[in-house]
Amino acid sequence: MECVYNGGENGRQHTKTAVSGVSYMAQLKWVFRYMKGCRWQFFLGAFLQLFVYLPLLIIVPIVVSDLIDRAFLGGDASVTAKLLLMYICMHGIRAVSSFSHYVLQDMASAHVLKSFRIALYDKLQKLPTAFYSSTRTGDIMMRLTGDLEMLRHFSAWTLPQLLYCILLFTAGMAVYFSTNVPLTCIILLAVPIIAVVVMHMRKQSAERHHDLREKGSALNACAQENIAANRVVKAFARENFEEEKFKVCNEAYRDSAIKAAEVGANHGPILGAIARTINICILVFGGIFVIYEKMSVGDLLLFYNLSWLISDSTNLVGSVINETQRFFSSTQKVSQLYYARNDIQNKPNALKKEPDENSGKVVFDHVSFKYGKHTVLDDISFEVLPGQTVGIMGPTGAGKSTLVMLLARFMDAQKGQVFIDGTDVKNYDLTSLRHHVSYAMQDVFLFSDSIASNIAYGDQALAPDEIAQYAKMASADGFIRRTSDGYETIVGERGVGLSGGQKQRISLARALAYEAPILVLDDTTSALDMETEHYIQTQLAARDKKQTTFIVAQRISSVKDADKIIILENGRITECGTHEELLKNKGYYYDVFCIQQGIENEKAKGAGVQ
C-alpha cells in the first residue's frame, strides 16, 4: 500500500503503486494501527453492542414468547411477575449499553482522527518542495479534512455496524435453527439472492464513490485556487469566467453524487422487498406449521418478533456497503499521501553540526540537475569563501533559483556535489543544514499573524528591539510603525494588505533575523525602488557579522558590488568575475549593463547596428 513520490531524477514524477490493488484487510489493519491508545474504547464499545445490547434484543422476544405460552396461554400465574421484571430490567440494561456504546465509539473515532491528522501533517512537513509544485493544494486539503472525516465515520459507525450486521444475522439464524429447522431452511432460500444483490451493489458503489471523491477534490481545488488568486481574477475581470468554471465543477460533483446515491436507491428497495418477503414467508409457512401443530403460537410469535434480525441485517447491508466503499476510496487517497516517499532524507548517522563563526564556505563541484528530461543546471562548479558575496544573474529559466535551492536540499543534484564548510550537504542532518542557510524567497509568503511574528519566525526568542533592528536593516521599520498597530499589526493571508515592496522587506528582515552564516536573497529587491535598494545594500555591507551572501537578481545595481558575479545561461556558467571584469568581457553582463544604464552598446555599434 505504497505511493512513492520520486523527488530524485525528475523531482516531479509520481510513481504510484495502486492502493486499490491492496486487500481491504490490509487497509483495515492500517487504520486499526492508528487506534493505539483508544483500542480499549473501541473494543469495549463493540463488546457492549455485540454481546450485551444485541443478545438482549434477542432475549426480550424469547421472554415475551415464554410469557405468552406459559403465563397467558398456559395459565401459570407464578411466572408472570418474574418474567415481567426480567423484561423491564433487560430494557434498562439495553438503554445503558446502547448509550455507553455510542459514547465509547465516538471517543475512539475522535482519537483515530487526531492521530491520523498529526501523522499526515508531520508527513507534509517532510515532503520536498517539488511535491507541492505538482500537487494541488485543494487536493491536499481534501485529504486532511473530508477523507480523514470518512475514516473517523468508518471507525465510529460503519465498522461497528458491519460487525453488528454479521452477528445480527448469525444470532438470528442460531435462534431460528434451535426453534424450528424447516421454517429456517425456507428463510435461508433468500440468502443467495441477497448475496447476488450485495455483490452487484458493492461493484457499482466502489466505482461511483471513487469518482465522487475525485469530483469533490476537483471542486475543492477550484474553490481554493480562486480564493488564492482573487486579485488576479479581479485584475482581469474574470469573475464570470471563474463562476462558470466553478459551476461546471459543482455540476460534475452533483452528477457524481447523484450516481453514487442511485446505487443505494436502486438496490435498497430490492433488499427491502426481500426482507418483507421473509416476513410474509414466516407468517404463511409458520401459520401452516401452527395449524398442523408443528410449532407453538409462542414460537411463531418468536419467529415473527425476531424477523427484524434478518430484515434489519439485510437493510443495513446496503448502507454499510455504501459507507465501506466510501471509506476505501478515501483510504486510498490518505494512504497515497501517508506513504509518499521523500528521497530527501537524513542518512544514517547524519552530521549534526551547528554553524560557528567560521562557517559559510560553499563549493559547487560539477553539479547537474534536471526537471524530467529538461536540463536546468549542467556541470556547475565554483567556490565561495566565508563572508563573500556572490551575485547570480542570467536570463529567465537559466536555473538561478534552482541553484540556490540546492544549498538547503530543497532538491538534490543528480550529479556532482554541493559542499558547505567542507561537508557534502547530503551528509548533514537536515535540521542542522538548514540552520546554515537563510532564505528571502522570490515568492514571498507571510503568515496570517503579526508583523513581529513574521520577522521572528525563525527565532521566536527575539526581543522587540532586535526585531525592530532587523526591520531597519531591511528598510521596513518606517512603514511598519505607520500601520495601525505597528509591529503587532496582523497581516492578511499571504500578506494581503501590504504592497509587493513591503512584503519583500518583511521577508528580508525575516531572513536577516535568522542569523544563518549563508544568506540567500532570491530576487528580493525586485519590487523596491532604487533608493530603498541602495539603503538595504548599505545596511547589509555595514553588518558586523559577515555572512556568505548569494544575491539572485536581474538588476546590475543589486550585484555590482559583489565579490564574484556568476552568469548562468542555458544551465551553464558562461561568465564569472567582478563587475569590472565582466564589463571588459563584453558578454551577457555587459549587454544588460548597457540596457539598464541607457548607454550605447559598443558591440552593437561595431556590428553596424543603428
| Residue 593 burial (C-beta neighbours within 10 Å; 0-12, 13-18, 19+) | middle
* Count of CA atoms in the C-beta half-sphere (13 A) of 375: 12
Instruction: Compute the average pLDDT of residues 90-104.
Output: 88
C-alpha cell at 212: 465522487
Residue 19 in this model has a pLDDT that exceeds 70: no
pLDDT digits (tens, 9 = 90+) for 458-504: 888 899 999 999 999 999 999 999 888 889 988 876 666 788 888 88
Please give the Cα distance from 519 to 542 (Å, whole number).
15
User: Which range (43-47, 117-121, 338-342) has the least confidence?
Assistant: 338-342
pLDDT digits (tens, 9 = 90+) for 155-188: 877 888 888 888 878 877 888 888 888 888 888 8
User: Which range (192-196, 314-318, 426-430, 470-474) has the least confidence?
Assistant: 314-318
- Spatial contact of 93 and 52, defined as CB atoms under 8 Å apart: yes
Q: Specify which of 214-223, 268-277, 342-351, 579-588 reaches the highest per-range mean pLDDT.
A: 579-588
Angle at 520 between CA 514 and CA 526, to 5 degrees: 110
Structural domains in the chain plus CATH codes = 3-8+22-338 (1.20.1560.10), 348-436+517-579 (3.40.50.300), 444-515 (3.40.50.300)
- Spatial contact of 409 and 424, defined as CB atoms under 8 Å apart: no
- Taking the CA atoms of 433, 434, 439 and 442 in sequence, report the sign of the dihedral they define: positive
User: Which range (15-24, 319-328, 385-394) has the least confidence?
Assistant: 15-24
Residue 114 in this model has a pLDDT that exceeds 60: yes
Please give the Cα distance from 82 to 255 (Å, whole number).
58
Percent of the chain with pLDDT over 90: 21
DSSP structure class, residue 430: H
pLDDT digits (tens, 9 = 90+) for 235-244: 788 889 889 9
Instruction: Compute the average pLDDT of residues 335-347.
Output: 81
Average pLDDT of the chain is 82
pLDDT digits (tens, 9 = 90+) for 562-594: 999 999 998 899 999 999 999 998 889 999 999
Q: What is the value of pTM for the model shown?
A: 0.72
